[in-house]
Every structure is written in C-alpha cells, then in structure tokens.
Amino acid sequence: MKNDMKKRILFVSVLAFFLTLALTVPTAIAEDMTAKELVTEAKKDICEVSVSDAKALLDKGGYIFLDCRTSKEFKMGHVPGAINIPRGLMEFKIAKKIPDKNANILVYCKKGGRGCLTTCTLCRMGYKNVKNMDGGWKAWEKAGYPIE
C-alpha cells in the first residue's frame, strides 16, 4: 500500500512538471518565408553602410573585411586584405578566425543578401560591431575600388 502511494505521488509530480513546462515554454511558430523575406527581416536588425562608407573604413583601417561568398567567388576577386568564410560555414569557423567579439567587422557578399544574413547571425552570436556593406561585391566593383 505504501509503495502504491509513492508511485502515485511520483506519477502526479512528473505529470505536473511536464504540464507546467508545456504551459510556460513558448512554442515556435513556423513561418514560410522566402529568401528575400528573410533578408528583409534581417535588414531590420543590422547596421548597413554604403559602399563609399565601406571604402572609407578600409582606408581608415581598424576593420576586418569579411567576405562571406564561396571560396571560388573569393578567389575570383575580393576587397584587399579581406578574409573569407563562406556563409554556410560561418557559425563553425568564425570563432577561430575572429575570436574577439568586439572586433570591428564589415561583412560583404556578392549583392548584399548573404551579407545581411551573415551580419544578423554574427550579431546573434554575440559579435558587437558588425556592419554589412550594402550592394556587396558588385557595388564595390562598380565603384572602381581596388581589388585583389
């Protein structure tokens, strides 16, 4: 009889725990979003600079230019001194390449979309001084700025 009572108390306690957990933990709401919508959403939460401002930051120094295009794209040309971490590997490689979460980072991609998403991701990972170059590599090239 004593064992039955202990089992009942244990059962009720476990049930109460899971019921409380289910009522207090918010559930994720799935949204069907396009890539364009994801970028638009990310733009709301990040700092973007024009290509001319990015050039000024390069000339001034003190910024790490982070190219988040593929390795193949990077090899075809990039901002002088930029480092390359493809967007698909960013979360796994950023801490080794840029361990200082207070570093000044300027992100760019081909046209701006991947850069926005990468900038948003880095901010979520705790990087404090991250900006995206609006227009990306295409805008840099069009402006006639130096390339490597």
Number of domains in the chain: 1
Query: Is 28 among the domain residues?
Result: no
Q: Containing domain of residue 94, as a range?
A: 35-142
Does a structural domain hold residue 30? Answer: no
Which two tokens mark 124? 């979520």
- The tokens 């910024």 sit on which residue? 63
pLDDT mean for each 10 residues of the chain (148 residues): 66 54 52 82 85 97 97 97 96 96 97 93 95 96 96
What integer pLDDT is reported at residue 21 of this predicted model? 47
* Residue 147 is assigned to a structural domain of this protein: no
Cβ 122 vs Cβ 90: under 8 Å: yes
- The confidence score (pLDDT) of residue 43 equals 79
CATH code of 94's domain: 3.40.250.10
The C-alpha atoms of residue 31 and residue 15 are separated, in whole angstroms, by 31
Task: Give the pLDDT confidence score for residue 37 in this predicted structure.
Answer: 84
Asked whether residue 13 is assigned to any structural domain, the reply reads no
